[in-house]
Amino acid sequence: MNRYINPDSDGRFYGLQDIVEADCHDCAGCSQCCEGMGDTILLDPFDLYQIQKHGKVTFDHLMTHGMIALTMRGGMILPHILMTDDTDCCPFLSDEGRCSIHPYRPGICRLFPLGRDFQGDELLYILLEKACARTERTGVQVGEWFDVEQVEAYHAFVRDWHDFRRQMGEVLAGAAEHQAQELSLRLMQNFFVAGYDTEKDFYPQYEKLAGRFRRAFAGMYRDESAHL
């Protein structure tokens, strides 16, 4: 299969075991990628699980304290990091320009300056050459760069979440307006607001929840959604 080549990349595709020149050596005081990002730092369920588990905060706390906001993508309501009004920076950025949640930062942040490529059935990664302000970067294994436990499970989750969003987008596109609104709210409530048991492993919880929705909405909206 001929893959689309992102013009902002170096033209290569990377797997978890590949070496990529992404290591900026702890940013060395730079925080440019934490500023002026608008609503682009979307959060997935694992991101919220991590923030709630390690930050000891609830979804409602993040919303009411202006740390996250909601946006609509592909028919689904998704949370994103909300830049501050005064400095247009990430609310988790300290006065010293350091990430205050670095050990459990969102996936988009830990991926940077890499991007994801979902063409076909495979998830690969690309290096966005000019995304990072630091030009002196060294090689690091892609899987190590993510800095997560169970990197293979994390990789599989990201791939599945992408597919799940696509599948639910098809359901939402084919539903009547009131049904689409109801489903969007149910998805938001179940995958983000209600949260997960942070004393248990995330992945089995996500898989069980995603499986429920897939079975209930196999290609079309069905009224038994009321029983979810």
CA gap 203, 196 in Å, rounded: 10
Hey, what amino acid is at 111? L
Distances (CA, A) of 78 to 57, 68, 70, 141: 18, 10, 6, 30
Host H or E run for residue 204: helix 202-216
Asked if 126 and 186 sit in the same domain, the reply is: no
Structurally, the chain folds into a number of domains equal to 2
* Residue 201 belongs to a domain: yes
Token pair of 183 as six digits: 């489903």
Domain range spanning residue 206? Answer: 151-221
Low-confidence residues in the chain, pLDDT < 70? 1, 219-228
* Residue 10 belongs to a domain: no
Q: What is the pTM of this model?
A: 0.91
- What is the model's pLDDT at position 219? 53
- What is the model's pLDDT at position 1? 62
Do residues 145 and 20 make contact, with C-beta atoms less than 8 angstroms apart? Answer: yes
Residue 35: strand pairing partners: 89
pLDDT tens digit sequence for 115-154: 999 988 899 999 998 888 877 889 999 999 999 999 999 9
Answer with the one of 145, 169, 187 that is the final residue of a domain: 145
**183 CB contacts (<8 Å, ≥6 apart)?**
168, 171, 172, 175, 217, 221, 225
Token pair of 4 as six digits: 């689309």
